[in-house]
Amino acid sequence: MTTRRRIALALIIIATIALDQGTKAVVRRTLMNSYPVRRGVLTLLHTENPGAFLSLGADLPPNVRHLIFDGLVSIGLLAAGFVLFTGRMQPGPDDVAIALIIGGGIGNLIDRFRLGGRVTDFIYLQAGPLHTGVFNVADMAITGGVLWLALSWMFRKKPA
């Protein structure tokens, strides 16, 4: 992997973290003690989630949540960063997906360490009976990266 590619991937990670933390700071400042803001299918509201995406694991005991969401996630992000930046994976579009996952993971970890194990969520989408849980920019980066990898691996040409 070239130095230029490493710098580009590092910038994707940094930009993802900055966008995530910036939007969360604005939400905590403007929506913490106010009513949700509804605009069509989009609702902005301040919530603090002790679980993972869509509150997965929120009901686990605090020490188990800490072990999984702080400890194991940190180890996973370090491993992904090691693989990404040491040339252990082929350069190509998939490394962008890994960078998005790392950036989103770090964004949510920053919240967990700053907010006592909770993550600020603020985006809710609803169109008729279809709706999401409440999520944030980091969740979008992680989900986008995972979907990117899944689709990439699904449609990858097998060597003959």
Cβ neighbours of residue 113 under 8 Å, at least 6 residues apart?
Answer: 70
Tell me if 13 sits within 8 A of 106, measured CB to CB: yes
Q: Which of 20, 95, 111, 121 is catalytic?
A: 121
- 121 flagged as catalytic: yes
Q: Do residues 100 and 148 lie in contact, with contact meaning Cβ atoms separated by under 8 Å?
A: yes
User: By C-alpha distance, which of 16, 46, 42 is closest to 29?
Assistant: 46
Separation between Cα atoms, residue 123 and residue 117, nearest integer Å: 19
- Per the annotation, the verdict on 139 as an active-site residue is yes
Amino acid identity, position 145:
G
Q: Catalytic site residues?
A: 121, 139
